[in-house]
């Protein structure tokens, strides 16, 4: 189990770091000023995995030795804690000394712990770029730059002084003590807030759009908080990581930043604000992100970061009243719709105008919204025909008469539209956004895939059987970023052409949907044919869409290992193995046959149509559930631990659902990805699983006897070389098993004995 420490864990960057660490299976020892202050810790304790693997500690940066017991036993330490003040009364006492002393105190504690392999410090771009050099458009700042403390002090840039001196002290201490140190230098950090309080960079961003009359004549070095957190983890996981890393996606002048926001939210009228010195904004300097990209960072598009920041600030109530979402779209500039535009009459009855019924409704399409007005009394009828995933805003508005049409009260419904590749994209879906489709999005793997895609800034077009079924969709609609970038569609796998309009405009498609049954009265009709036909129908739709650059298909290890070959412990299974359909049919392994034939058909279609296809072949998938229903792979574990008298004499090829979802995204983003990828984190006999669970849950009544007296079945080894080459680092089995059990408890599938 990987154990790390995060200092200052309630902060903006640190909160996201803790979130991503927990998602990756780490146990996190997090320091905060006051663990009992729920305003500072509530958002951390609510994170996925926090109950099992997050431990809060009180630690004082100014107290030598305060961190020794916290970092003891850790593999790595992330030091993010540092005072952030731009105008201190006493800079040395309030800012500089605490930053330097706190850094040295943390490093001193780390130097005493032999288990710590690496320390990652969150510094800042202000310890890089403030040295008096001219920052003209032909200049590129990189990791070789260092801020000059003397220059900063003369300019009274106290925060840059504190970050520069703290970094200098850290490198000096690391050299003397032989500490493997990496420093991260993010720029102006934006993106959604996890914490309930407003941090300084988000506050400065808010000031740009929340009533300022003049713009500062300055450029911002923007970077998304999620990219910064991801970079920290990459810095600790990548053996080749070293030195300093500048983390800036793009340098943008304040006027250009407002132009982006104006496109996203046209009603804000931001461009009426004037620059302080009236000079036109010229080209900006650059900050190299080449080294950061070598670490595996794909920066979130700036438009996505901006929108997610604004939506997060709205959600947490930091906007003034005039900018909050209103029940009236006319007074809701952040909704992006204009209800005061004239309505276009539709379907006037030949026998005269009536002020009731659908035939007198008026509609107009404006940018990304469709606004429908209709008599108030018919709202329920219309609502029943609206996909629940739409963001529908209700308001009473007065619709004045056109000639003989009487005035009446009506409902205005603002419904975001998904533009196709054939249409000009509106402001809500910038050309910089990455748009993908996920089929079968309500499933176990697919739900995690949607979650991680949204976190990475993708816009997701998700297909489900019934978008109106909250049991299948609610967990998706509640995901972070879903309100802004998740769109639900009904997709019928057996209907040719059903996916044509859905994949249109997507750059990639993840096809996860497939029937999962082990027994059926008519296997060919219920399992095999639907899997093959559904796969081909999705691929045919993709082949018609030139925007789709790659398709990632979720297959299974079932399509790899079932071929009659002996599966002994000395055998190594890899991507060159294929299951034998004839063997599967003779053995009546219908699910295995369906996955084998579906994958075979997919490769045939891809070759014939020159399609860039990647296939992921996961083993027995476990890990926490997002969906409220239990899926088959987790149910098989539940049966063993929930009152069974004996355990089966079988071995499992386990893999964590979070690793599988992450691998799908890596398969899309890595240009060199190709072919098939076997995904098995660890193969283990059921008896070994029960031993691990007993260590975690000694009071859980687990079966002690095998179902037969035969020798334990030993599983073959499945090669991880290719999938690890893609960048997957497997979550330890112990973490996966524990998180599975905790999730089953939380969702009420497991009796309370597991404590």
Per-domain boundaries in the chain: 3-323, 329-416, 435-746
Least confident of 144-158, 362-376, 638-652, 693-707: 362-376
Question: What's the pLDDT at 292?
Answer: 94
Residue 362 to residue 360: CA distance in whole angstroms: 7
Least confident of 319-328, 523-532, 561-570: 319-328
The separation between CA 584 and the C-alpha centre of its own chain, rounded to angstroms, equals: 37
Main-chain phi, psi angles of 79, to 5 degrees? -100, 100
Least confident of 96-105, 414-423, 635-644, 696-705: 414-423
Question: What's the pLDDT at 353?
Answer: 36
Mean per-residue pLDDT over the chain, rounded: 82
* pLDDT band at residue 660 using 50, 70 and 90 as cut-offs: very high
Please write the tens of the pLDDT for every residue from 16-33: 999 999 999 999 999 999
Least confident of 114-118, 129-133, 384-388, 576-580: 384-388
Question: What's the pLDDT at 721?
Answer: 94
Question: What's the pLDDT at 280?
Answer: 52
Tokens of 20: 């991503």
Given a contact cutoff of 8 angstroms between Cβ atoms, the answer to whether 433 and 461 are in contact is no
If you average pLDDT over each of 618-622, 644-648, 690-694, 732-736, which comes out highest? Answer: 618-622
In sequence order, which residues have a C-beta less than 8 Å from that of residue 691 and are 6 or more positions away?
none
Q: What is the topology classification, in CATH, of domain 3-323? A: Rossmann fold (3.40.50)
| CATH code matching the domain that covers 435-746, chosen among 3.40.50.720, 3.50.50.100, 3.40.30.10, 3.30.70.330 | 3.40.50.720
* pLDDT band at residue 271 using 50, 70 and 90 as cut-offs: low
Question: What's the pLDDT at 179?
Answer: 96
Same fold, 3-323 and 435-746: yes
In sequence order, which residues have a C-beta less than 8 Å from that of residue 375 and are 6 or more positions away?
355, 356, 357, 360, 408, 409, 410
Please write the tens of the pLDDT for every residue from 467-519: 989 988 999 999 999 998 999 999 888 888 889 999 999 999 999 988 776 66
| Higher pLDDT among residues 515 and 269, named by residue | 515
Q: Is the pLDDT of residue 247 over 80?
A: yes
Please write the tens of the pLDDT for every residue from 443-460: 999 999 999 999 999 999
| Higher pLDDT among residues 380 and 629, named by residue | 629
Strand 369-375 to 396-399 pairing: unpaired
Q: Is the pLDDT of residue 182 over 90?
A: yes
Question: What's the pLDDT at 160?
Answer: 93
* pLDDT band at residue 346 using 50, 70 and 90 as cut-offs: very low
Question: What's the pLDDT at 65?
Answer: 87
* pLDDT band at residue 275 using 50, 70 and 90 as cut-offs: low
Q: Which of 129, 126, 151, 130 is CA-nearest to residue 140?
A: 129
Given a contact cutoff of 8 angstroms between Cβ atoms, the answer to whether 314 and 213 are in contact is no
Residues 304, 305, 306, 307, CA torsion sign: positive
If you average pLDDT over each of 6-20, 71-85, 295-309, 331-345, which comes out highest? Answer: 6-20
| Higher pLDDT among residues 201 and 15, named by residue | 15
Alpha helices in 626-674 (DSSP H): 632-641, 657-669
Given a contact cutoff of 8 angstroms between Cβ atoms, the answer to whether 26 and 4 are in contact is yes
**pLDDT above 90 coverage of the chain, percent:** 54
Q: Is the pLDDT of residue 538 over 60?
A: yes
Q: Is the pLDDT of residue 50 over 70?
A: yes
Residue 455 to residue 614: CA distance in whole angstroms: 22
Residues 358, 362, 366, 368: what is their CA dihedral angle, to the nearest 10 degrees?
-10
Tokens of 62: 């100014």
For residues 116-122, average pLDDT:
97
pTM: 0.69
Please write the tens of the pLDDT for every residue from 52-63: 999 999 988 888
Question: What's the pLDDT at 446?
Answer: 97
Question: What's the pLDDT at 211?
Answer: 55
């Amino acid at each position: 189990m990987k154990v790390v420490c995060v200092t200052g864990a309630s902060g903006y960057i640190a909160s996201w770091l803790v979130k991503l660490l927990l998602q990756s299976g780490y146990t996190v020892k997090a320091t905060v000023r006051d663990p009992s202050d729920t305003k500072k810790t509530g958002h951390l304790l609510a994170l996925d995995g926090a109950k099992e693997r997050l431990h809060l500690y009180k630690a004082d940066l100014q107290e030598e030795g305060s961190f020794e017991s916290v970092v003891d036993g850790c593999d790595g330490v992330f030091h993010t804690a540092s005072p952030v003040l731009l105008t201190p009364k006493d800079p040395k006492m309030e800012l500089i000394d605490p930053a330097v002393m706190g850094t040295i105190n943390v490093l001193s504690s780390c130097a005493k712990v032999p288990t710590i392999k690496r320390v990652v410090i969150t510094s800042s771009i202000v310890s890089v770029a403030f040295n008096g050099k001219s920052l003209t458009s032909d200049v590129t700042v990189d990791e070789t730059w260092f801020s000059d403390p003397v220059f900063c002090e003369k300019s009274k840039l106290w925060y840059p002084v504190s970050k520069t001196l703290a970094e200098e002290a850290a490198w000096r201490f690391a050299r003397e003590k032989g500490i493997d140190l990496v420093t991260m230098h993010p720029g102006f950090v934006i993106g959604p807030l996890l914490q309930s309080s407003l941090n300084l960079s988000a506050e400065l961003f808010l000031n740009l759009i929340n009533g300022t009359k003049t713009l500062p004549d300055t450029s911002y070095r923007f970077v998304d908080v999620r990219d910064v957190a991801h970079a920290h983890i990459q810095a600790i996981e990548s053996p080749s990581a070293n030195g300093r890393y500048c983390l800036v996606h793009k340098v943008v002048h304040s006027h250009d930043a407002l132009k982006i926001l104006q496109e996203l939210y046209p009603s804000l009228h931001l461009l009426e604000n004037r620059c302080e010195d009236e000079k036109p904004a010229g080209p900006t300097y650059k900050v190299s992100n080449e080294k950061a990209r070598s670490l595996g960072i794909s920066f979130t598009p700036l438009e996505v970061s901006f929108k997610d920041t604004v939506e997060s600030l709205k959600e947490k109530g930091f906007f003034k009243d005039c900018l909050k979402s209103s029940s009236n779209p006319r007074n809701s500039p952040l909704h992006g719709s204009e209800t005061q535009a004239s309505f276009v009459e539709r379907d006037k009855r030949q026998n005269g105008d009536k002020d009731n019924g659908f035939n007198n409704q008026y509609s107009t399409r404006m940018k990304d919204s469709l606004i429908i007005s209709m008599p108030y009394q018919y709202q329920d009828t219309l609502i029943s025909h609206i996909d629940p995933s739409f963001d529908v805003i209700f308001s009473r508005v007065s619709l004045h008469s056109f000639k003989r049409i009487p005035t009446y009260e009506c409902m205005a419904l603002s419904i975001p539209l998904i533009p196709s590749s054939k249409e000009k994209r509106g402001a809500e879906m910038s050309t910089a956004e990455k748009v993908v489709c996920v089929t079968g999005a309500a499933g176990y793997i697919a739900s995690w895939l949607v979650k991680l895609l949204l976190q990475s800034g993708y816009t997701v077009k998700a297909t489900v059987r019934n978008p109106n079924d909250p049991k299948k969709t609610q967990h998706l609609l509640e995901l972070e970023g879903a309100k802004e970038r998740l769109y639900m569609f009904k997709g019928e796998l057996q209907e040719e052409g059903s996916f044509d309009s859905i994949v249109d405009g997507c750059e990639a498609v993840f096809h996860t949907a497939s029937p999962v049954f082990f027994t059926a009265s008519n296997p060919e009709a219920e399992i095999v044919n639907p899997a093959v036909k559904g796969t081909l129908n999705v691929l045919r739709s993709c082949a018609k869409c030139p925007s789709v650059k790659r398709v990632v298909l979720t297959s299974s290890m079932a399509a790899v290992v079932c071929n009659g070959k002996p599966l002994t412990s000395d055998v190594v299974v890899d991507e060159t193995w294929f299951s034998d359909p004839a063997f599967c049919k003779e053995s009546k392994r219908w699910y295995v046959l369906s996955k084998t034939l579906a994958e075979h058909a997919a490769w045939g279609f891809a070759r014939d149509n020159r399609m860039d296809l990647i296939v992921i072949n996961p083993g027995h998938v476990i890990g926490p559930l997002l969906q409220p229903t239990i899926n088959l792979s987790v149910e098989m574990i539940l049966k063993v631990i929930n009152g069974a008298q004996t355990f089966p004499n079988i071995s499992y090829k386990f893999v964590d659902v979070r690793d599988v979802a992450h691998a799908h995204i890596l398969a899309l983003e890595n240009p060199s990805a190709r072919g098939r990828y076997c995904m098995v984190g660890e193969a283990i006999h059921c008896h070994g699983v029960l031993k691990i669970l007993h260590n975690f849950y000694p009071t859980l009544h687990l079966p002690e006897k095998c179902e037969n007296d035969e020798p334990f079945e030993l599983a073959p080894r499945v090669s991880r070389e290719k999938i690890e080459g893609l960048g997957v680092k497997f979550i330890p089995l112990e973490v996966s098993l524990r998180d599975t059990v905790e999730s089953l408890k939380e969702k009420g599938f497991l009796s309370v004995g597991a404590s």
